[in-house]
Amino acid sequence: MGQPSSTQARIFRILIAIVIFGALGIGVFLLLLKSWTTMRDDEQGHAQIEIARILEEMEDSQPYLVENAAGEVLANRQLESDDAAPVQALCLVVWNPNRERWVQINYPYWFVRLKMRSELSVTLLHAMAKEDWSHLLVDIHISDLERRGPGLILHEKRPDGREILVWNLGFSRKSEN
């Protein structure tokens, strides 16, 4: 074998650059994901107090997604408004008393828009937390959630004690002096 041609060397350098930038991209993504996620072991009493505090601090605690008697998840479109207040994050809390584990994820909306494009399956997050895959047919777009504005998206208490909260977090209001 002879010396690699300049074309082969150029292709090799391009491949190395792609691998380096790919590894950096994955590293940044994992770092961001870690900074948006809180996991902790917790006692049920503390978790219930924290969930009550979150619900109390919400601007609107009427759920956007509701489950009907047949077990279908439906969107309450009456809560949507074209002039809804802007939202900064889509938040998810799952409390599992069997594992005494609290997980909270706050995804900034720029990330939600980037990753989910036009359609967001909040019910996928819900199904993952419930470990129930039978109700994934809700047609919700990111724009629908933004028209919902700050407030509760979903609150579910499972018979086994697990509790799931999904909400839109609004921007903090600055106090006026």
User: What is the secondary structure of 89-112 as a DSSP string?
Assistant: EEEEEEEETTTTEEEEEEEEHHHH
> What pLDDT was estimated at residue 117?
58
Q: Could you tell me which residues come within 8 angstroms of residue 147 by beta carbon, excluding any fewer than 6 positions away?
A: 80, 81, 82, 84
> What pLDDT was estimated at residue 132?
58
Tokens of 161: 């004690």
Q: Where are the domains of the chain?
A: 1-37, 42-170
Rounded to 5 degrees, what are φ and ψ at 68? Answer: -85, 180
Q: Residue 105 and residue 44: Cα distance in Å, rounded?
A: 19
Q: Return the beta strands (E) in 32-162 as ranges.
A: 37-41, 65-67, 73-75, 87-96, 101-108, 151-157
> What pLDDT was estimated at residue 176?
36
pLDDT along the chain (177 residues), means of 10: 74 90 84 80 80 84 83 83 88 87 87 64 56 56 85 87 88 50
Q: Residue 30 and residue 158: Cα distance in Å, rounded?
A: 30
